C-alpha cells in the first residue's frame, strides 16, 4: 500500500481537506477576486458575472425610462443582484430620499451606482401576483449634481412626441417636474437603451417570472438646480401589466398598443387612460418622498393613491 493510500484511509480530515481544495478551487475560477483577474485575465471568460458588466455601458446619465429614448447607463461603479425574495413595502429609503412604493410587496432585482464618479443611484424592483409580474419599478436619483447638459437627457421623455401622454406639473421654486406615459414591449432581448434595465429584465426571465408582451409605463421626473450650478434629479419609471389577475396573457395584439391602436382598441385605451390618471395622482406622493415628507403607514394600510391599475389585491410575494 502506497503512502497516499495509507493517508487516504487513515486521515479523514485530510480527505475532507482534499475535497475542499477541489471545491474551493472551482469557486475561485467561477468567482475570481479582482487581483486574480489582473494577474491572469483569461479567467474572466470563465467567471460568473452576478451583475451587468460595466463594459457594455456608455458614458452619460441614465433616466427612469424603460422604453424608447432612454439614455444608456453611465460608467458603472457598483452593481449587484440582491436576493430577489427580499420584501419591500410602503417606503424604500433611496439615495437620501424616500421612494414611495405602490400597493403590494416589491422585490429587489438590481441595484447600481453609475456615472463618472458614481453620481447616479439606480434600483430595479418587481411585483408579482401568483408568480406573474404585475409591475416593475426603475428608480434613479443623484447623490451629487450632474451638468445641465446631461440633465436634459433625463427630462427628454416629457418632451418626446412619441409618448402617448405628457404633462408638465407645478413644482417648487428652482425645480421642475413632469410625467409621461408610454408602452414597453418586453418580449424582445433589448427592452431599453439602458444596459442595466436590460440585465434586470433578463434576470426576471431567467428566474422564470412570466410577464405579458407589453407593459404600460408611467414616468415621473423631478429636477432641482443645485447650488454649484448643476442639476440633481430623481426619475421613477413604473411599468404596469394590463393582463388579468394571475395571468400573463392578453387578448389584444401588439398593434393595439401602438399610438394609433390605443385610440381604436377599447381595452388598451381604457388601461392607458387609467395609467395616465394614476400617475397624475401619484406624482405628489413621489415629490413628497423626494423631499422626505412621508410618514410610514400603520398596520399595513395602503397609502392613498397607492393602488395602481395593475394591482389586484393579492400579497404578491415570491413563492
Per-residue pLDDT tens listing for the chain (319 residues): 566 666 666 666 656 666 666 655 655 545 555 544 444 455 454 444 433 333 333 333 333 344 443 333 445 557 788 899 999 999 999 999 999 999 999 999 999 887 767 788 999 999 999 889 999 999 999 988 888 777 777 777 777 888 889 999 998 888 999 999 999 999 877 787 777 888 899 999 988 999 999 999 999 999 999 888 889 999 999 999 999 998 999 999 999 999 899 989 999 999 999 999 999 999 999 999 999 999 999 887 899 999 999 998 865 555 5
Residue 286 to residue 171: CA distance in whole angstroms? 12
The predicted pLDDT at position 258 comes to 92
Q: For residue 227, how many other CB atoms are within 10 A of its CB?
A: 8
Residue 69 CA to residue 166 CA, distance in Å, equals: 14
Count of Cβ atoms closer than 10 Å to residue 181 Cβ:
24
CA pair distance 277, 17, nearest whole angstrom: 63
**Which SS3 state, helix, strand or coil, does residue 34 take?**
helix
Phi, psi of 298 (to 5 degrees): -90, 150
The C-alpha cell at 221 is 421626473
73 phi/psi in degrees, rounded to 5: -70, 155
> Quick one: which of 65, 68, 161, 59 has its CA closest to 118?
59
Judge whether 281 and 167 are in contact, CB under 8 Å.
no
Three-state secondary structure call for residue 54: helix
Nearest to 310 by CA among 281, 286, 283, 278: 278
Run of H or E residues at 176: strand 175-185
Q: Give CA–CA dist 215/105, Å, rounded.
A: 18
What pLDDT score was predicted for residue 318? Answer: 54
Using only the alpha carbons of the chain, give its radius of gyration.
23
Backbone conformation region of residue 130, classed left if phi is above 0, alpha if psi is from -120 to 50, else beta:
left
- Residues 3 and 7: their CA atoms lie apart, in Å, by 6
Q: Interhelix angle for 12-30 vs 3-10, to 10°?
A: 90
Amino acid at each position: 500500500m502506497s503512502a497516499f493510500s495509507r493517508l487516504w484511509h487513515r486521515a479523514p480530515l485530510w480527505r475532507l481537506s482534499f475535497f475542499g481544495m477541489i471545491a474551493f478551487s472551482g469557486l475561485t475560477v467561477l468567482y475570481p477576486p479582482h487581483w486574480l483577474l489582473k494577474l491572469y485575465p483569461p479567467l474572466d471568460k470563465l467567471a460568473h458575472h452576478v451583475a451587468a458588466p460595466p463594459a457594455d455601458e456608455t458614458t452619460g446619465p441614465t433616466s427612469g425610462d424603460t422604453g424608447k429614448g432612454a439614455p444608456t447607463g453611465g460608467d458603472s461603479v457598483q452593481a449587484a443582484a440582491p436576493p430577489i425574495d427580499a420584501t419591500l413595502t410602503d417606503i424604500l429609503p433611496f439615495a437620501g430620499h424616500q421612494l414611495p412604493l405602490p400597493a403590494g410587496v416589491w422585490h429587489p432585482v438590481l441595484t447600481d451606482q453609475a456615472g463618472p464618479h458614481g453620481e447616479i443611484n439606480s434600483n430595479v424592483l418587481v411585483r408579482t401576483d401568483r408568480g406573474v409580474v404585475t409591475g416593475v419599478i426603475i428608480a434613479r436619483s443623484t447623490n451629487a449634481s450632474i451638468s445641465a447638459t446631461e440633465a436634459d437627457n433625463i427630462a427628454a421623455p416629457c418632451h418626446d412626441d412619441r409618448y402617448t401622454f405628457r404633462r408638465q406639473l407645478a413644482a417648487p421654486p428652482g425645480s421642475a417636474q413632469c410625467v409621461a406615459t408610454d408602452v414597453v414591449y418586453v418580449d424582445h432581448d433589448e427592452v431599453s437603451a439602458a444596459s442595466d434595465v436590460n440585465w434586470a429584465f433578463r434576470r426576471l426571465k431567467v428566474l422564470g417570472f412570466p410577464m405579458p408582451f407589453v407593459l404600460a409605463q408611467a414616468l415621473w421626473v423631478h429636477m432641482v438646480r443645485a447650488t454649484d450650478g448643476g442639476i440633481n434629479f430623481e426619475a421613477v419609471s413604473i411599468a404596469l401589466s394590463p393582463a388579468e389577475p394571475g395571468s400573463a396573457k392578453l387578448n389584444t395584439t401588439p398593434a393595439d398598443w401602438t399610438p394609433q391602436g390605443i385610440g381604436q382598441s377599447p381595452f388598451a385605451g381604457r388601461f392607458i387612460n387609467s395609467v395616465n390618471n394614476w400617475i397624475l395622482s401619484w406624482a405628489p406622493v413621489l415629490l413628497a418622498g423626494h423631499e422626505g415628507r412621508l410618514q410610514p403607514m400603520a398596520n399595513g394600510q395602503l397609502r392613498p393613491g397607492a393602488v395602481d391599475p395593475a394591482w389586484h389585491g393579492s400579497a404578491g410575494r415570491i413563492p
